[in-house]
Amino acid sequence: MKKLIPIFLTAVVCAACTTPSFAARAAGTAAAAPVPRAAALPVPAARPAAQADVPATETDQTLHAMHDEMQRARTRLALTGVDKPFYIEYRLLDLDVRTVTASFGALVSSSASRTRFMTVDVRVGNYHLDSSNFISEDGFQGFLGSTGEVGIDRDYNSLRQDLWLATDQAYKAAVTQMALKQSFLRSLTKPPEIDDFAPTSPMVKIDPRQEPEWSSRNWDEEAREASVVLKDFPHLYGNRVNYYLVYATTYRMTTEGTTIRSTRHLAAVEAALDTQSDDGMSLHDYFAVYRATPADLPDAAGVSKGIAAAAMDLMALRSSPLLPDYTGPVLFDAPAAASTLAQVLEPSLSGARPPLAMTRDFDSFIERFGGRSEWSGRVGTRVLPTSVSVYDDPTLADFQGQPLLGSYDVDEEGVKSQHVDLVSNGILRDLLMSRRPGPDFSLSNGHARSALLADPHPLSSNLFITSSDALKPDDMRKKFLDACKDDGHEWCIEIKRMDNPALAAVSQEDFSEFVGSLGSGIANGDRAPLLVYKVYVADGHEELARGGFVQGLNTRALRNMLAVGGDPYVLTYMQNSQDGLAGTALGAFGDANAGIPSTVVAPSILLDDIEIRGFHGEPSRIPLDAAPPLK
Amino acid sequence: MMKRDMRHKAFALAAALFAAAWVCPAADRSAQSTPPPAVLAAMQDELSRSMQAYSAADPPAYFLSYTVSDRQLADVSGSNGALLSSTEDRARWLEVQSRVGSYQVDDSHKLGDRPPSWTSPGTNVPIDDDLPVLRREIWRETDRQYRAAAQALIKVKTSEQVQVQSLESTAPDFSSEQAHTSIGPRVEIHVERKPWEERVRRYTAEFSKSPAVLNSIATFTALSTNQYQVNTEGTKLAFGQIHYRLELFVQSKAPDGMDIERYANFDWLDPKDAPDEKTVFDSIHQLIKETEALDKAPLANPYAGPTLLTGRAAAVFFHEVFGHRAEGFRQKDVAEGQTFTSKVGEQILPSFISIKDDPTESSLGGQMLLGAYPFDDEGVVATDVHLVDKGVLKTFLMGRSPLVDVPHSNGHGRRQLGYVPVARQGNLIVSSTQAESFPELRQKLIELVKKQGLQYGLLIDDISGGFTFTGRGQPQAFQVTPLVVYRVFADGRPDQLVRGVDIVGTPLVSLTKIVATGDKPEIFNGYCGAESGSVPVSAVAPAILISEMEFAKKETSTDRPPVLPPPAHDSDATKGQAQ
């Protein structure tokens, strides 16, 4: 057993984190009266209930080892003088990953890895008040931790040994945490009344296991072939074309009787391209395609075509004029609208509340881990135009023939996935819930999601934004130009595609630089567009321009929209719950840029009074030396 | 700090990437025969083109260097009887160094108390020999690094803190070195991972037979590194190194919660020299025996008195206490304690002791030395440096950050990939003219114990890495963790294993208290982690007898042993026999 160490620690580094599973405990509950979704289930006594049996005919030793060690812990794990565990949960991830990276037709890296991770959650207390949802300065520091890398043989003995130690450590951590939490609660004048943990019905679901299949195509060669087209763009500085093929089998077992084995796959191609304009502005572009299985990925020629199109856009940007400051109507084409709505709405949809924290130092940390939700507490009020409705549906497999990547049967807490009507005719009706109760709702609606084995948060899956008053494209355009005219503009702004800096950065360094340039902008509603056009009122002609951020575009700006189109676009992307930017496929298995496969289906939108700030920075120098030829 | 083993995978991998031992023939002998590889030629072309542009820029670059490290790594790891991971990878890493200003004052000049950046930027480049693409990457990285250097130089020039703080801060920022051309053959490893997968399963399953072993890890790594380097002083190098390693690691917990850890490692250069099953299993059984004994051993009390260190323990002791303080760059940093800075020419050790650091030797007495290399990471030829001659300090280990009296590198600028090279140890070799057999030393220990009116002395058989504080803000002390410590009684009782002590003390004092030395040099191969990352090193020393050494109680964990017995050793198991 080895401790789990993320490839890049940046996303979860926190000075006070005592164990890698610290992040896994940072989310949850706060002070306010609970409003139950439905009549609460009876709260069981503080004793673990029985487990589901694993059929004797089952050949999967992983299930047997999990079952047997859990049974031992459930019946015998106890320290004298303190609470016994009331809830034990084992999660295990069996991961096969193939990654290939090429640049300008040359292979940069090619690897295959097989790993297994486990994480053990043990709680003391009861559903109302347990050892979770609390961040203290100094918790328990075990020698091995409750999270770690385990053997890949799928054998019985080594897994039991690892689970035994992890369970022991998790129990001791829970006991320490509970003591600290109770002493903290005693110091508060009004302790929070929201329950720590929502009960749920047990679920037994053992899907067939699937073995990785990636030998039918020569991925090294495909990556070379797909990227060689970039040699036709001498002004391109650098690029990386990444193929990711992932097979993941997830196990979950709890003392509530849940036993789940489910398999998921993901195949992705993500390309990052960058250059500089002649006046020194750094510019980038990206291409991404996500599919459920490797076999579904487009062939090299298909990928090459997409990458070349992105490179052409980038070259056009390179020689385009700078965008001036602007305030007025902005037309977001459907792809840009889907991306923008995803960025703006996602952080508002969670109904969970942040954990209790002993010190204020944790505030910013909590915020990044699902503590901020702008719509929490606003149920029943109007949050969007009355024509607009929003729902999230992980149960749908496709939309108008296009596959939806955010679909799943059972969420990361073993709760069955559910359709949730979030906003009906502009009124907020519901929020996304995990098993962490919040001020508005108590019970889960099957939206606990996470990358790798991180702590699940309520996140969207397949998010749909619809309008009962959708305009046809021509009408939409007319309304846009009319709004421009009324506002006295010679030209107005149309955004065709939003940026995705996590994807577009060729190196981690470039990404950090970009995030740095945003400053605190993301939190204040700064959004980065990529393809921005000036549309002239007189004759409707378009001019591409570069630079600039959309400023202050937050949920409040969406309450009033001038118009909504009837042209739904299916945007598949990697959701990142942490810093307000979309993630990458690598995030789906443990990178800093955490990524959770998701879909947003949204039409074009026309917004008024949008502020765009042009480029005001100091452009970098261009290289002193001409680039050496690529061919 | 010297560690024999890495517990965490990320660290182990990172360290293993740079582990290497010299297998290419001596530089000058190989120079004529092999034609320069295409990669090197492309690097040279781009270097010439860049230097033309950047030496004419404002501020001008005065030095450029390109390094491409082409690594192939196979890593097979097992834990508790199962395979943990088995991977093989190849990658090429490009590092560009661009210096602006002059050798005397350049962009790397240290400003006040601001800590320098120890990490070095770089980028992955294609493993396909597509030279135009490689040149494009070099072009891009050169511009990036030049910009960073030009910005840093502005800060240096405008800083009011550029003032004389000590004599050593008047030394140049960078040394000019002679150009060296050496083109060695490319090295490659061909590893069959399957047999190793079986082996690491077997090894860790053997550990699991003991209920005392809570966790065990066995890791096999095979690494080849082909390093290509060109710089504007005219150096042009291509050399390869191969290294194989097997690490064994066990964890246990004493009844009072103290963590017990034991390590063993095997290093070899040629696949035929891999340890056979018997050797490995003997080592496993030894580790189990020690672990079980340590679990039961009584806690030691704080102690000050005569102490005997076996050769392997003494080697680590010298590495920590002397070696780190002999690293040249520490002598010019005002934040450093500079223990030895003004002591060149002075007696710092008993006159029967001499110390050298010799990376040019790849083995000693048939045993591999892990800290060998033909050229350091700044492209300077490795040299044998006589640091202490008959107890007198002669010089320091030098990279390309010169001292006033030591203006040139002696080929000890080393780094883990991703870090900036600084002066580091390679093979630190301690010798003595006053050799005595181990039984004689033991007898001397007992005599000292009696003379000092004590009941017992301590015998240290094994030491794991420790912490050496060399900074000025910290006490000039060292702390190393003895793993296997015995009480040797004056009255002739059998030796008693104890646990839970750390050596504490001040370096200068303990070095002068060495009263006798053994007759057999012992080798410790390990990884040393310091400012420039983790680098492979050796330390060689005979046993040493110290008239007085101080020990403190080790900080212990409050985490008790697991509540339930190990599943495989649970007689009361509700269920759970091996299936």
Which secondary-structure segment (H or E) carries B439?
Answer: helix B438-451
Paired tokens of B142: 């050169």
How does the average pLDDT of chain B come out, rounded?
86
Residue among B539, B535, B526, B466 nearest B118 (CA): B535
The answer, for A559 touching chain B at a CB cutoff of 8 Å, is: no
How far lies A581's CA from each of A518, A575, B182, B258, in Å? 11, 8, 49, 44
For chain A positions 486-545, those within 8 Å of chain B (CB to CB) are 507, 509
Where does the pLDDT of residue A310 fall: very low under 50, low under 70, confident under 90, or very high at 90 and above?
very high
Number of neighbours of residue A157 by Cβ within 10 angstroms: 22
B356 occurs within a structural domain: yes
- C-alpha distances in Å from residue A296, one per residue of A105, A286, A293: 22, 20, 5
DSSP for residue B46: H
Q: Do B143 and A625 touch (CB under 8 A)?
A: yes
Which pLDDT belongs to residue A522?
A: 65
CB proximity under 8 Å: B 204-243 to A: 204, 208, 214-215, 217
Do B204 and B313 lie in one domain? The reply is no
Q: How far apart are CA B523 and CA B540, in angstroms?
A: 5
Which ipTM value was assigned to this complex? 0.87
CB proximity under 8 Å: B 299-358 to A? none
Q: Residue B189: CA atoms inside 13 Å, Cβ hemisphere, count?
A: 30
Q: How far apart are CA B36 and CA B24, in angstroms?
A: 15
| For the ranges A138-147, A413-422, A579-588, B316-325, the one whose mean pLDDT is highest | A413-422
pLDDT of residue A518: 64
With pLDDT > 70 as the criterion, what percentage of chain B qualifies?
A: 85
Residue A136 pLDDT level (bands cut at 50, 70, 90): confident
Residue B196: what residue type? W
Task: Give the dihedral of Cα atoms B484, B489, B494, B498; nearest 10 deg.
Answer: -30
Q: Single out the residue of B386, B326, B340, B367 nearest to residue B540, CA to CA.
A: B367
Given a cut of 90, whether residue A619 has pLDDT beyond it is no
For testing contact with chain B, the best of A1, A141, A237 (most B CBs within 10 A): A1
- Region A176-187: mean pLDDT is 91
Peptide bond into B59 cis (omega under 30): yes
pLDDT band at A140 (very low <50, low <70, confident <90, very high): low
3-state SS track over B155-174: HHHHCCCCCCCCHHHHCCCC
Whether residue A173 is predicted with pLDDT greater than 60 in this model: the reply is yes
Around Cβ A24, how many Cβ atoms within 10 Å?
Answer: 22
Lowest mean pLDDT, pick from A320-329, B14-23, B515-524: B14-23
Residues of B with CB below 8 A from A158's CB? Answer: 79-82, 204, 208
Based on its alpha-carbon atoms, the radius of gyration of chain A, rounded to whole angstroms, reads: 25
What sign results for the dihedral spanned by CA atoms A421, A422, A428, A433?
positive
**Model confidence over A327-345: pLDDT tens digits?**
999 999 999 999 999 989 9
B349 part of a folded domain: yes
* B379 φψ region: left (φ > 0), alpha (ψ -120 to 50), beta (else): left
pLDDT at A352: 86
> Is the predicted pLDDT of residue A31 greater than 50, yes or no?
no
Q: Which of B245, B280, B296 is the last residue of a domain?
A: B296
Look at residue B170 and tell me if it is in a domain.
Answer: yes
Which one of A72, A140, A161 has the shortest CB-CB distance to B80? A161
- Contact flag B136-A627 (C-beta cutoff 8 Å): yes
According to DSSP, residue B32 is labeled: T
Helices B131-158 and B38-54: angle between axes, nearest 10 degrees: 40
Query: What is the structure's pLDDT at A42?
Result: 40
- Kindly report, residue by residue over A374-405, the tens digit of the pLDDT: 898 899 999 999 999 999 999 999 999 999 99
Same-domain status, B439 and B454: yes
- My answer on whether B404 and B434 are in the same domain is yes
Distance CA B543, CA B510 (A): 15
Instruction: State whether residue B160 sits within 8 Å of chain A by CB.
Output: no
**Strand intervals (E) in B101-180:** 123-125
**Which DSSP state fits A28?**
B
Task: Please compute the mean of the pLDDT values over residues B280-299 and round it to a whole number.
Answer: 96
Percent of chain A residues topping a pLDDT of 70: 84
Residues B221, B314: one domain?
Answer: no
Whether the per-residue pLDDT at B180 is higher than 70: the answer is: yes
In a shared domain, residues B252 and B385: no
pLDDT, tens digit, for every residue of A424-460? Answer: 999 999 999 999 999 899 999 999 998 777 788 899 9
Domain span at residue B516 reads 303-553
Q: At what angle do helices A157-186 and B193-208 cross, to 10 degrees?
A: 60
Nearest residue to B58 (alpha-carbon basis) of B168, B147, B181, B187: B147
Using a CB-CB distance cutoff of 8 angstroms, which residues of chain B are in contact with residue A241?
none
CATH number of the domain that residue B281 is part of: 3.30.2290.10
* A4 or B481, which is more confident: B481
The amino acid at A281: M
Examine the pLDDT at B469 and tell me if it is beyond 60: no
Determine the Cα–Cα distance for residues A225 and A300; give it in Å rounded to an integer.
Answer: 6
Of B296, B330, B348, the one marking the end of a domain is: B296
The pLDDT of residue A1 is 67
Angle B349-B355-B360 from CA coordinates, rounded to 5°: 170
B559–A141: do the CB atoms touch at under 8 Å? Answer: yes
* Model pLDDT for residues B47-65, shown as the tens digit of each residue: 999 999 999 999 999 999 9
Q: Which of B55, B120, B143, B202 is most worth mutating to test chain A (most A CB atoms within 10 A of its CB)?
A: B143
A105 near B CB under 8 A: yes
pLDDT for residue A519:
60
Residue B38 burial (CB count, 10 A)? 12
pLDDT(B479) > 60 = no
Which chain B residues contact residue A72 at CB under 8 A? 564, 567, 570, 573-576
Number of domains in chain B: 2
Q: Do B126 and A507 touch (CB under 8 A)?
A: no
Same domain, B291 and B310: no
| pLDDT value at A230 more than 70 | yes
pLDDT in tens, B36-45: 789 999 999 9
Is it the case that residue A211 has pLDDT exceeding 90? no
Nearest alpha-carbon partner for A138 in A185, A180, A170:
A180
pLDDT of residue A33: 33
Lowest mean pLDDT among A574-583, B456-465, B478-487: A574-583
Q: What is the mean pLDDT of residues B344-348?
A: 92
Whether B386 and B356 have beta carbons less than 8 Å apart is answered as yes
| Chain-chain contact of A238 with B146 (C-beta, under 8 angstroms) | no
* A159 touches B at CB < 8 Å: yes
What is the reported pLDDT for A511? 72
pLDDT of B161 over the 60 cut = no
Q: Which of A593, A586, A597, A590 is nearest to A98 (CA)?
A: A586
> Cα–Cα distance between B463 and B537 in angstroms, integer?
15
> How close is the nearest chain A Cα to the Cα of B432, in Å?
41
- Listed residues B271, B296, B321: the one ending a domain: B296
B244 vs B12, B95, B220, B266, B428, CA distance in Å?
Answer: 13, 25, 7, 8, 21
In chain A, what residues touch B137 (CB-CB under 8 Å)?
Answer: 103, 238
> Looking at the structure, do residues B311 and B288 belong to the same domain, yes or no?
no
pLDDT band at A620 (very low <50, low <70, confident <90, very high): confident
* CA A340 – CA A610 distance, rounded (Å): 13
Interface mutation vs chain B, best among A72, A117, A221, most B CBs within 10 Å = A72
pLDDT higher than threshold 50 for residue B106: yes
Report the gap between the CA of A597 and the closest CA in chain B (Å). Answer: 26
Question: In whole angstroms, what is the distance from residue B240 CA to residue B230 CA?
Answer: 15
Residue A252 has pLDDT above 50, yes or no: yes
Residues A448 and A416 sit within 8 Å (Cβ to Cβ): no
From A336's Cα to the closest Cα of chain B, the distance in A is: 31
CA–CA separation, A446 vs A459, rounded Å?
10
Closest to A132 measured CA to CA, from A187, A92, A192, A188: A192
Best mutation site among A64, A144, A161 for testing chain B: the one with the most B CBs within 10 Å? A161
> Mutate which of B50, B66, B70, B84 to disrupt the A interface (most A C-beta within 10 Å)?
B84
Residues B412 and B422: their CA atoms lie apart, in Å, by 8
The span from the CA of B2 to the CA of B452, in Å, is 32
- The verdict on B22 and B113 lying in the same domain is yes
The whole-model pTM stands at 0.89
Q: Nearest chain B residue to A622 by CA: give it.
A: B143
Quote the mean pLDDT of chain A.
85
Q: What is the Cα–Cα distance from B251 to A3, expressed in whole angstroms?
A: 13
A7 falls in which pLDDT band (50, 70, 90)? very low
Q: Do A625 and B50 touch (CB under 8 A)?
A: yes
In this prediction, residues A24-50 reach a mean pLDDT of: 39
Specify the range with the lowest mean pLDDT, choosing from B173-177, B494-498, B575-579. Answer: B575-579
Residue B127 has which token pair?
């493993």
**pLDDT score of A481 more than 70:** yes
CA nearest to B10 within chain A: A5
Among A44-58, A216-230, A322-336, the range scoring the smallest mean pLDDT is A44-58
Determine the Cα–Cα distance for residues A499 and B154; give it in Å rounded to an integer: 34
Q: Are B95 and A66 in contact (CB under 8 A)?
A: no
* Tokens matching residue A66: 């999990």
B251 lies within 8 A of chain A by CB:
yes
Instruction: Examine the domain organization and report whether B59 and B191 are in the same domain.
Output: yes
> Rounded to whole angstroms, how far apart are CA atoms A387 and A562?
11
Q: Does B556 touch chain A (CB under 8 A)?
A: no
Interval B109-119: pLDDT, tens: 887 666 677 77
B34: left (phi over 0), alpha (psi -120 to 50) or beta: beta
Q: Is B559 part of any domain?
A: no
CA distance B10 to B31: 37
Closest chain A C-alpha to B508 CA, distance in angstroms:
35
Q: In which band, very low, low, confident or very high, does the pLDDT at A15 lie, cut at 50, 70 and 90?
A: very low
Q: What is the β-pairing status of strands A356-357 and A134-135?
A: parallel
Question: In terms of CA atoms, which chain A residue is nearest residue B569?
Answer: A161
Which of B19-28, B321-330, B377-386 holds the top average pLDDT?
B377-386
pLDDT of B26 reads 34
**Which of A3, A72, A153 lies nearest to residue B83, judging by beta carbons?**
A153
Can you tell me whether residue A334 is helix, strand or coil?
Answer: helix
Q: What would the mean pLDDT of B188-215 be, rounded to a whole number?
A: 96
Contact criterion met (CB below 8 Å) for B89 and B72: yes
User: pLDDT, tens digit, for every residue of B248-280?
Assistant: 999 999 998 888 888 899 999 999 999 999 999
Mutation target among A144, A150, A167 for the B interface, most CBs of B within 10 A: A144
Helix (H) / strand (E) containing A316: helix A300-318
Could you tell me the pLDDT band of residue A4, with boundaries at 50, 70 and 90? Answer: very low
Are both B257 and B319 inside the same structural domain? no
Write out pLDDT tens, residues B402-412. 998 899 999 99
pLDDT at B467 over 50: no
pLDDT given at position A29: 28
> What is the structure's pLDDT at A345?
92
SS (H, E, C) A126-162: CCCCECCCEECCCCCCCCCCCEEEECCCCCCHHHHHH
pLDDT digits (tens, 9 = 90+) for B13-34: 233 333 332 333 333 334 445 6
Parse chain A into domains and list their residue ranges.
Answer: 2-33+53-98+109-206, 219-251+259-318
Burial of A213 (0-12, 13-18, 19+ CB in 10 A): middle
Spell A326-363 as b/e; 16+ CB within 10 A means b: bebbbbbbbbbbbbbbbbbbbbbbbbbbbbbbbeeebe
Does A172 reach chain B within 8 Å, measured CB to CB?
Answer: yes
